[in-house]
Amino acid sequence: MRIGHPGYDGPMEPRATATDFDGRPGMPDRFGRALRDLRISVTDRCNFRCPYCMPAEVFGRDFAFLPRELVLSFEEIERLARIFVELGVGKLRITGGEPLVRRDLPVLISSLAAIRTPEGDAVDLTLTTNGSALRALAAPLAEAGLQRITVSLDSLDDDVFGAMNGVDFPVSRVLDGIAAARTAGLTPIKVNTVVRRGMNEASVLPLARWARDAGLVLRFIEYMDVGHSNGWRLDDVVPADEILGMIDAAMPLEPVSAQYRGEVAGRYRYRDGNGELGVIASVTRPFCGDCTRARLSAEGSLYTCLFAVAGTDLKGPLRAGASDGEVADLVRSVWEIRADRYSELRSEATERLPKVEMFALGG
């Protein structure tokens, strides 16, 4: 079995120049992809136990999450974020684990919101959350300078959602969080839904209707083989075409062209003009060719692919007294040799690789 593009072991494409990728100055990797986005995991802990990400039987009471001293401090995160922005990053996404379980998160947000690009612009600052603590935190986060938010929600049905979050967390509390985010002005609000065969296909259409009526940007995510704890099987993936087909049959859709190079979601709008939705189809429509993302784990390792087997430690040099320039040189040296394109090479062989868990490296 092989899905996605056939294996590619040929010569690399010629080295791109700094502005080839999207017209902006930047640092090209071996396929000419510039570093534009940094996902920052602020914790490896989460209060949910979604079976597709952090299954309860693996991540039980005895599981050893990172001790506090191994987690980057807010000052370290801010310093690294500034270095990445100097290198061409324009978008910072806070994630985890569940980022809202990290104490005093608004303090970090306000320091990140103050960062400016070399051109003097503010960075695009956003956060992905399961929404469970959003009712209380939406206003403080917005006041601290968070611009918008993405909330994960896999069903509007309590039984289905309870099974998918692994802790019977009720839908209503996530909806309260989304309402609070809207009141706080964290818009446009995006909603992420992972679709898993046999679990929540029946939730697709109700979610699409709800998001459309509520003016939310819904993105369906194909279930991915991240990490190795979730027992991923290709049969569990509901392909984007099938998801779109279900919705199109009830509410006709048409494709929308990407807003910028590197946009992850394939975008579609309702033909009647009432909103749009997206599909993130890493399995059936790999988008490695335009991937501009790096990930910083809670313990300060740099990963250049969601499906990575290893990262590069940045915390060690930072704590050993490296200068900003030395850390920037390390990041540059990692990015310049980056040749990751896991989703394009996905096969039975890649499935067995000892990949790092998604909650650890920042989803």
Q: Which of 108, 238, 291, 358 binds ligand SAM (CB under 6 A)?
A: 358
Task: Quote the crossing angle between the two packed helices 240-250 and 204-214, to the nearest 10°.
Answer: 60
CA 265 to chain CA centroid, Å, is 11
As given in the structure block, the two tokens for residue 340 are: 């990751």
The candidate with the shortest Cα–Cα distance to 363, out of 270, 296, 299, 301, is 296
Q: Which of 111, 147, 152, 292 binds ligand SAM (CB under 6 A)?
A: 152
Q: Minimum distance from CB of 245 to ligand SAM (Å)?
A: 20
The yes or no reply on residue 111 touching ligand SAM (CB under 6 A) is no
Q: Of 194 and 318, which has the nearer Cβ to ligand SAM?
A: 194
Other Cβ atoms closer than 10 A to 35: 25
Q: Which of 221, 246, 264, 331 binds ligand SAM (CB under 6 A)?
A: 221
Question: Mapping DSSP to helix (H, G, I), strand (E, B) and coil, where does residue 190 land?
Answer: strand
Asked if residue 312 lies in contact with residue 268, where contact means CB atoms within 8 angstroms, the answer is: no
The yes or no reply on residue 287 touching ligand SAM (CB under 6 A) is no
Asked if residue 155 lies in contact with residue 196, where contact means CB atoms within 8 angstroms, the answer is: no
Q: Minimum distance from CB of 117 to ligand SAM (Å)?
A: 25
Site residues for ligand SAM, window 30-89 (CB under 6 A)?
46, 52-53
Q: What is the largest CA-CA distance in the chain?
A: 59
Q: Amino acid letter at 246?
A: M
Q: Of 134 and 318, which has the nearer Cβ to ligand SAM?
A: 134
Q: Minimum distance from CB of 146 to ligand SAM (Å)?
A: 14
Q: Minimum distance from CB of 363 to ligand SAM (Å)?
A: 3
C-alpha–C-alpha distance, residues 317 and 291, integer Å: 27
C-alpha–C-alpha distance, residues 125 and 344, integer Å: 29
Q: What would the x/- binding string for ligand SAM be over residues 119 to 138, using CB under 6 A?
A: ---------xxx--------
Binding region for ligand SAM (CB under 6 A) out of 94-102, 197-205, 302-310, 329-337? 94-102
The yes or no reply on residue 98 touching ligand SAM (CB under 6 A) is yes
The yes or no reply on residue 174 touching ligand SAM (CB under 6 A) is no
Binding region for ligand SAM (CB under 6 A) out of 93-101, 114-122, 141-149, 269-277? 93-101
The yes or no reply on residue 363 touching ligand SAM (CB under 6 A) is yes
Question: Mapping DSSP to helix (H, G, I), strand (E, B) and coil, where does residue 287 land?
Answer: coil
C-alpha–C-alpha distance, residues 169 and 318, integer Å: 38
Q: Of 87 and 305, which has the nearer Cβ to ligand SAM?
A: 305
Q: Minimum distance from CB of 198 to ligand SAM (Å)?
A: 15
Binding region for ligand SAM (CB under 6 A) out of 29-37, 68-76, 95-103, 289-297? 95-103
Binding region for ligand SAM (CB under 6 A) out of 67-75, 223-231, 240-248, 328-336? 223-231
Q: Of 89 and 195, which has the nearer Cβ to ligand SAM?
A: 195
Nearest residue to ligand SAM, scored by beta-carbon proximity: 363
For the chain, how big is the Rg over CA atoms in Å?
20
C-alpha–C-alpha distance, residues 71 and 92, integer Å: 18
As given in the structure block, the two tokens for residue 80 are: 């690294």
Task: Write the CB contacts of 194 (distance below 8 Å, at least 6 apart in sequence).
Answer: 50, 52, 152, 154, 164, 200, 220, 221, 222, 223
Question: Mapping DSSP to helix (H, G, I), strand (E, B) and coil, where does residue 13 land?
Answer: coil
Q: Amino acid letter at 238?
A: V
Q: Minimum distance from CB of 282 to ligand SAM (Å)?
A: 8
List the beta strands (DSSP E) in 96-248.
124-129, 148-152, 189-195, 217-222
Site residues for ligand SAM, window 181-220 (CB under 6 A)?
192, 194
Q: Which of 59, 84, 268, 359 binds ligand SAM (CB under 6 A)?
A: 359
Which residues in this chain contact ligand SAM in the complex, by CB under 6 A?
A: 46, 52-53, 95-96, 98, 128-130, 152, 192, 194, 221, 223-224, 226, 230, 358-359, 363
